[in-house]
Amino acid sequence: MKCSKLLRRYLALLGVVSLGLVACGGDPGSDAAIGCGPLAQPQALKLGVNPGAQDMVTFVMQEQGFDKKHNLNLELSEFQNPSALHAAIGQQTVDVGFGGLTAMATARQQGRDTMIFDVLTSPSNVIVTRNDSNVHSLSDLRGKKLGIFGGRTSATFAIASIVAKEKYGIDNLEKDVQLIEGPDAAMLGLLDQGNIDAALIGTTATVQALLSGKYRTLSDISQDYQEKFGKLPGHVLAATTDEYAEKHCGVLNAFSAALDDTVAFIQHDDKVWSDYAADIKLTDPRAPATLRERVASRYIPDWNQEQADAEASLINQLIPVLGPDKFVRAVPDGLFRVDLRTAQ
């Protein structure tokens, strides 16, 4: 029996829609099938975070309801060190994580499908020494002991290596300085005891160290980098996997929109710093102002092709510092995505 003209048109249209769903890499119920626009209903997002600037963002995002505004139900997974979080991103234990630039680049180079779709911040970290130390400049650390909180593969250490080379004349921070790895509290303890000469410490530890009055700053990493290269180095970025992005670009778009709202709020609200200081148990009355001074100015509000290009340039600067055999030989294809953003 022959189909009517109307029925033939209907079947043809249905075929086009089906092909469109296949091209999106999803099924009719998947996020990819409806594109990257605003979410029509709440969806869960497993988000991995480390202590520090990431805590601040997620604290404010949830407290102010920016996640709910964009139909996200955040399920937070807290990791005590960057390496554990980076592994969770690559293994898809979390959907999205605030990953280090170097770790995400290395993982993609090794064949994992990790990719970066937004930026959070540049380092708020400092390298400190005791007030009574005979180390007066970062260049004085040659042959001495430096404690580092995030390990030799961390983005923070990598950027510190560039600063050490380009501003302080230390060609290879890993070889020219004796490195001692450990958590912040251990590094400051070793510094107090005179067992190391300086320490590169995390965000909260930086605030505590500055408030204590016991230490001198040898390098404010982001400030030194910006003075040398003219732009803040984005080292903590929002990362996921190609597989997750293919099926959930709307969720990623919603997360980026919530992140934009959060960073804008942080930049213009005073009370949030008092609340955050209390949340991380910094009781010194000067802590909120110091947190704002250290952290707020380090957030990078815009993710676009220009910022992605700046991150690629940073990787190219890191290659000769870290070594292509230990890092990457070139910026991995597909590492940065700027095409997932739509108006929210």
Nearest to 94 by CA among 102, 103, 86: 86
Distance CA 115, CA 128 (A): 33
Q: Which residue has the tokens 């732009």?
A: 231
Determine the residue type at 122.
S
Structure token digits, residue 100:
């280090």
pLDDT tens, position by position, 261-316: 999 999 888 888 898 888 888 999 999 999 988 888 899 988 999 999 999 999 99
pLDDT tens, position by position, 172-206: 999 999 999 999 999 999 999 999 999 999 888 99
Half-sphere exposure of 210 toward its Cβ, with a 13 Å CA cutoff?
25
User: In what helix (H) or strand (E) does residue 130 lie, and over which residues does it extend?
Assistant: strand 126-130
Can you give the C-alpha Rg of the chain in angstroms?
23
pTM for the structure as a whole: 0.79
* 51 neighbors 45 (Cβ within 8 angstroms): no
